[in-house]
């Protein structure tokens, strides 16, 4: 019996070690516990996560995308770990949870494909860019797309449809993809 208990304990520790690393949560805010905030000129949530890692007082963080074209993104450092609340405005995480963009599907997170635009339009806020992708897939002329989050170019999100596939460029403002 003692052997069985030891074996089960060892397997439990092994399973815990194989668990996926903590990740930030796109589309979630953590309200409360703020002790410091600062603006992020380049609009990249990874800057907020890195600042929390370097500050011993920081236990969690929330990054808020700019809400207007004249505003800057803001990082909120927290001295407690508030519950996460679904909100498209933000990316949040706990200390140790870097910003790891999803790598599933054909969407390219934090990528801009500048140029090749034949049309653009305002679109509802969407942390996945799925509606912009669907608009591109619905038009035979469209080969690629870029969804730009609110506050980076205009106060509202925009979808750019492209008749050319251009080079991907890392930019936190955007989600892009190629469909044809």
Span 97-137, pLDDT tens digits? 766 665 556 789 889 999 999 999 999 988 889 999 999 99
In the chain, which residues have pLDDT < 70? 1-23, 98-105
Residue 169 belongs to some domain of the structure: yes
Q: How many domains does the chain have?
A: 2
N-terminal to C-terminal alpha carbon distance within the chain: 61
Q: In this structure, what token pair is assigned to residue 149?
A: 């989050």
Give the pLDDT confidence score for residue 87 in this predicted structure: 87
Evaluate whether residue 12 is within a structural domain. no
CB 132 within 8 A of CB 145: yes
Q: Are residues 26 and 66 in the same domain?
A: yes
Would you state the pLDDT for residue 22? 57
CATH number at residue 160: 3.50.4.10
Residue 127 CA to its chain's centroid (Å): 7
pLDDT of residue 154: 86
Query: 94, 118, 133 — which closes off a domain?
Result: 94
Tell me what pLDDT residue 55 has.
93
Instruction: Identify whether 38 is part of a domain.
Output: yes
Specify the pairing of strand 108-112 against strand 144-148: unpaired
Q: For tokens 């990249």, what's the residue?
A: 44
Domain extent for 134: 108-178
Among 94, 122, 148, the domain boundary falls at: 94
């Amino acid at each position: 019996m003692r052997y069985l208990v030891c074996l089960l304990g060892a397997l439990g520790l092994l399973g815990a070690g194989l668990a996926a690393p903590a990740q930030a949560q796109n589309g979630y805010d953590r309200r409360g516990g703020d002790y410091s905030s600062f603006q992020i000129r380049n609009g990249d949530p990874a800057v907020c996560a890195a600042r929390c890692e370097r500050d011993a007082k920081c236990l969690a963080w929330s990054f808020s995308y700019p809400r207007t074209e004249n505003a800057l993104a803001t990082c909120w450092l927290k001295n407690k770990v508030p519950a996460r609340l679904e909100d498209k405005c933000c990316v949040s995480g706990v200390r140790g949870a870097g910003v790891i963009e999803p790598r599933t599907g054909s969407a390219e997170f934090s990528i801009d494909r500048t140029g090749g635009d034949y049309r653009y339009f305002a679109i509802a806020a969407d942390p996945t860019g799925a509606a912009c992708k669907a608009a591109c897939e619905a038009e035979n002329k469209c080969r690629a797309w870029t969804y730009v989050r609110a506050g980076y170019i205009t106060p509202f999100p925009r979808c750019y449809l492209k008749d050319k596939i251009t080079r991907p460029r890392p930019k936190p403002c955007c989600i892009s993809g190629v469909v044809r």
